[in-house]
Amino acid sequence: MFKIGEFSKLMQVSVRMLRYYDEAGLLKPAEIDRFTGYRFYSTAQIQQLQRIIFLRDSGFAVGEISALLKRCDDNYTLSALDQKREEAQIAIDEQRKKISKIEAAICELREGRQPIHYEVLVKRIPAYPTLCLRRIIPNYFHEGMLWKEFTEQVEREKLEVPQNTLNFAVYHDLEYKETDVDVEVCAVVNETEPYLSSPMFRMVEEVSTMACMMVYGPFENIGPAFAEFARWLSEHQTYRMSGFNRQICHRGPWNEEVEDHYLTEIQIPVEIRD
């Protein structure tokens, strides 16, 4: 048996954390002296503490660690680890995008480059028969996971999305949100069976006046495009925003290796002021 200080030193975990794990129910001392209140830990608890440390360092919260320890199910643990890996990859991608923005800003300042010019075109967008999946997702960077869920749902229903069809996302929030965003992903299909019988089927409504911008290059260029749209609106005051934004990625990482060749279309519904 080891005293709490000895166990702390051997396992490289502070006494404060060991007491916290005790209070949280993750790792109770093997024995507590009823006279002195001293905590003692056994050799058998070394592996359990190592697992707690591993899960903590992998990004699991105390409640999640507790659930994993109680389940003692390898398949459950593997599924949880896969989820954490996806979350970690999203976080890495977010940081890479931040670095890309910083590097682009540095280059512009050093080279004196002019801002990218975006042309706004107003056009009618017809109604589309689609397969759709709508979810509240943590933030916009999780849209890729929503597309993955969409694909899995289509496969479960044994449906086949037409090749080279139009895929787009609809953003149902009327304001920009940093968390809990309402996003719907859609793929255009035919108005035939079995699509019409699918619970995923929805006729996406026509928009008679949609302001559209083609954004070339990395996804980091999308932010400045919205700023350009704000300038366009200030110059064309006969229009005002109305409805939900859409976004179409015509060329992206799935069909284009070079980021500079990406092509994204931003669609913002507008209406003529009274």
Task: Give the list of residues 6+ apart from residue 133 with CB closer than 8 angstroms, or none.
Answer: 146, 149, 150, 153, 184, 185, 200
**Which pLDDT score, from 0 to 100, does residue 150 have?**
96
| CB atoms inside a 10 Å sphere around CB 225 | 18
Which run of H or of E encompasses 82?
A: helix 74-111
Tell me which residue of 167, 164, 166, 162 sits closest to 192, measured CA to CA. Answer: 162
159/210 same-domain check: yes
Cα–Cα distance, 34 to 36 (Å, whole number): 6
Q: Which of 9-23, 28-42, 54-68, 184-198 has the highest mean pLDDT?
A: 184-198
110 and 128 assigned to the same domain: no
Name the domain count of the chain. Answer: 3
Count Cβ atoms within 10 A of the Cβ of residue 74 and give its class: 0-12 exposed, 13-18 middle, 19 or more buried: exposed
Report the CATH number at residue 16. Answer: 1.10.1660.10
Backbone dihedral region for residue 188 (phi beyond 0: left; psi -120 to 50: alpha; all else: beta) = beta
What is the pLDDT at residue 111? Answer: 67
Tokens of 67: 């659930």
Q: Are residues 30 and 101 in the same domain?
A: no
Helix axes 62-71, 74-111, angle to 10 degrees: 150
- Rounded to 5°, angle at Cα 174 from 170 and 178: 85
Across residues 43-66, what is the average pLDDT? 89
| Residue where a domain stops, chosen among 114, 136, 170 | 114
Residues 91 and 138: their CA atoms lie apart, in Å, by: 12
Range of the domain at 144: 120-272
Instruction: For the chain, give the percent of residues with pLDDT over 70.
Output: 96
A 10 A CB-CB count for 35 gives 6
Examine the domain organization and report whether 25 and 161 are in the same domain.
Answer: no
- Rounded mean pLDDT, 222-239: 87
- Is the pLDDT at 212 greater than 90? The verdict is yes
The yes-or-no verdict on residue 116 having pLDDT over 80 is no
pTM over 0.75: no
